[in-house]
Amino acid sequence: MIVQTALDQMVKAQLLRRQSTAEDTNLGAGYVFKHALTQEAAYRSLPHRQRSVVHRRVAECYEQLFAERLDEHAAMLAYHFAEAGDQTRALSYSLRAGDHAMAVYAVAEALLYFDRALALVVAGCPAIEEQLLHLFGRRGRALELESRFEDADDNYALMERFAVDRSQARLELAAVLAQTKLRSFVNQLFDPVEGRKLAERALALAETLGDRRSQAEIYWDLMNQARFNVGQQEEAIAAGEHALEIARAIGWQEQVAAILNDIADVFADSGRFDEGNAALEEARTLWRDLGNQPMLADNLSNTGVWRIMQGDFQGAIVCFDEAHEISTRIKNVWGQGYSRSVRGIAYWQLGRYDQTIEDFTIGSALSDEAGFLIGQVLPRIQLAFVYLELGCPHLGLEVMQRLSHSIATPVPQFTPSLSVVLAAFQEINGLAAAAGFRGSPDDVDPMQGFWVFNFASLSWIVRLLHTGRLEEAVAMCIRHIDVMQGHNIVAFQTDARLFASRALVQLGQLTEAREQLSTARALAEGVGQRRILWQVLPLLADLTPDTSAAEALRAEAAAIMADVRDQLPTEELRAGFLALPDVRRIGLL
């Protein structure tokens, strides 16, 4: 009664406001301060010891009132228990608050709670091994999702120090394994040499502990270390299949999906497309069932890339759009950069240059933000080729120069590709190749991966054509075609056939040139590859003896060229395109 009288007096004095809602009816009336300054003054007037008592009572009241919804109120509980001096419960609720935020993809918010939990532990709050595994593991994963890989590495190094100081073998294994993983995937810390050393340490610890889950992860990491090194596909497949065998045996579905997601790419680079497709499909089903949205988006983008290689450009766009929608919804910049970058490839093949340029530009910028190396490199290489195709090689050179100055990639796959593409654009623009470039066509290896091989090979072909080494250009085109044809990759055959025909015409081998153009046309028409058709048709018309048939080919080319001209986003690109010899001969204005 005394309390109620005091509350009524404070309401009359306009210090408090009575508040009662339908939700509060079972709890009695509620009161709030009318002004924050009044509340702060009242709070500060309490002795420190009494404040702690108030915070504890508030926290315990929350625990009772919301016993079925503690995760929703974990952040508030963590705050009040921390202010009450109950560090143990503050730690527990900070971890729960971080988990709750991660569950709704609020990664930045989750990091705030995990950071508070870490501060408690560093300050001496007692924590059992399970809590430390949870804290460092979840905090590290959140940092990785934010593309803060160096901070994640620092987190795992601190985790290892805690483990060694406390002689906790499971914690040490988790720390070494996490550091291994950072050096096994494409990011700024990729280092297969150091990664293998860490993997060997982790494997020894895992075998001592009989930890099969960790063994599956370690072999997965070894697969990825080999996967991103040139010529190690067989080693990668062996490690991946061993990882998959362990994960299936222990029923770890999430790890099965992760391994399948990655081994599919290794199968592709080895020409084992049926096995790769099956792996992607199984992984995609698992990701949907598990509700793992970031990995579902990654899988969809991977699937779209495969569809491009098989000539299904519209099907690829469907995959990329779903991946981008998911990544945008969960605020995953990495996924946004990946899906946008690769969607540009599909639009390029369809002759949609406006969308192509936009996707490559935005996708690579998002990849910069996310620290996604593949998304930083490959879209820019492809954008340079788009500019070359449209008669603006100087713009392609600018792209490659900026890329070579800004990307210090640690991935061996990319080094020869970047060097030869830059050299090609330098020479096309009348410049000497970069000092120190000592490349050779023999350096171009399909085992680098088909995407890297494609642009490295085409760059050498462009260089050979530009310098008049026509026989070598034809030979390299034939090799390129054989590699792609041998693996049924339609989209990457047509460029080489187009370049081969140009060299063959200059060599006077017109019949052979016409055969290459006819095949390129048939392939391009079969998959809707309009960017190839507008280049092939005028050349084929020149080699067609029947006048009416030749004119029909030119008319078809003119229609596609007009569409290209109308969609180009700048006057500079339109001028470059209209100045191309084949476009001028068609008479397009």
**Where do the domains of the chain lie?**
1-41, 211-288, 292-371
What pLDDT was estimated at residue 24? 47
Averaged pLDDT, 42-58 = 62
What pLDDT was estimated at residue 25? 45
Element (H, E) at 253: helix 253-269
Q: What's the pLDDT tens digit per position in 516-559?
A: 999 999 999 999 999 999 999 999 999 999 999 999 999 999 99
What pLDDT was estimated at residue 263? 96
Q: How confident is the model at residue 438 (pLDDT cuts 50, 70, 90)?
A: low
Burial 256-272 (b: 16+ CB within 10 A, else e): bbbbbbbbbbbbbbbbb
Sign of the torsion formed by the C-alpha atoms of 559, 312, 353 and 521? negative
What pLDDT was estimated at residue 1? 44
Averaged pLDDT, 472-496 = 92
Q: What's the pLDDT tens digit per position in 134-157?
A: 999 999 999 998 889 999 999 999
Q: How confident is the model at residue 430 (pLDDT cuts 50, 70, 90)?
A: confident
What pLDDT was estimated at residue 80? 76
211-288 belongs to which CATH class?
Answer: mainly alpha
What is the DSSP secondary-structure string of 364-394?
A: HHHHHHHT-HHHHHHHHHHHHHHHHHTT-HH
What pLDDT was estimated at residue 270? 77
Q: How confident is the model at residue 73 (pLDDT cuts 50, 70, 90)?
A: confident
What pLDDT was estimated at residue 504? 97
* First and final C-alpha spacing in the chain: 92
Residue 271 near residue 310, CB atoms below 8 Å: no
Element (H, E) at 33: strand 30-33
Q: What's the pLDDT tens digit per position in 302-355?
A: 999 989 988 999 999 999 999 999 999 999 999 999 999 999 999 999 999 999
Q: How far is CA 489 from the centre of its chain?
A: 23
What pLDDT was estimated at residue 105? 84
**CA distances (Å), 141 to each of 137, 156, 178, in order?**
6, 10, 9
How far apart CA 474 and CA 441 sit, in angstroms, is 12
CB-based burial of residue 313 (10 Å sphere; 0-12 exposed, 13-18 middle, 19+ buried)? buried
CB-based burial of residue 67 (10 Å sphere; 0-12 exposed, 13-18 middle, 19+ buried)? exposed
Residue 292's CB: how many other CB atoms inside 10 A?
A: 16
The amino acid sitting at 137 is G
How far apart CA 360 and CA 122 sit, in angstroms, is 44
Q: What's the pLDDT tens digit per position in 255-311?
A: 999 999 999 988 887 778 889 999 999 999 999 999 999 999 999 999 999 899 889
Q: How confident is the model at residue 404 (pLDDT cuts 50, 70, 90)?
A: confident
Which residues are within 8 A (CB) of 281 and not within 5 positions of it... i.e. 6 or more apart?
A: none
Sign of the torsion formed by the C-alpha atoms of 444, 445, 449 and 451? positive
Which tokens hold the place of 239? 């490690």
Three-class DSSP category at 72: coil
Which residues are within 8 A (CB) of 183 and not within 5 positions of it... i.e. 6 or more apart?
A: 189, 190, 191, 192, 194, 195, 198, 225
What is the DSSP secondary-structure string of 495-520?
A: HHHHHHHHHHHHTT-HHHHHHHHHHH
State which fold the 292-371 domain adopts: 1.25.40
- The per-residue pLDDT of the chain, averaged, comes to 87
What pLDDT was estimated at residue 204? 97
For the ranges 143-152, 203-212, 319-328, 409-418, the lowest mean pLDDT is seen at 409-418
Q: Is the pLDDT of residue 22 over 90?
A: no
How far apart CA 586 and CA 284 sit, in angstroms, is 47
How far apart CA 171 and CA 432 sit, in angstroms, is 55
What pLDDT was estimated at residue 454? 84
Element (H, E) at 18: strand 16-19
- Same fold yes or no, 211-288 and 292-371: yes
Residue indicated by tokens 């048709």: 537
How far apart CA 358 and CA 488 sit, in angstroms, is 29
Residue 334 near residue 324, CB atoms below 8 Å: no
The amino acid sitting at 160 is E
Q: Is the pLDDT of residue 46 over 70?
A: no
Which tokens hold the place of 348? 């390029």
Q: What's the pLDDT tens digit per position in 98-117?
A: 999 998 889 999 999 999 99
What pLDDT was estimated at residue 210? 96
What pLDDT was estimated at residue 562? 97
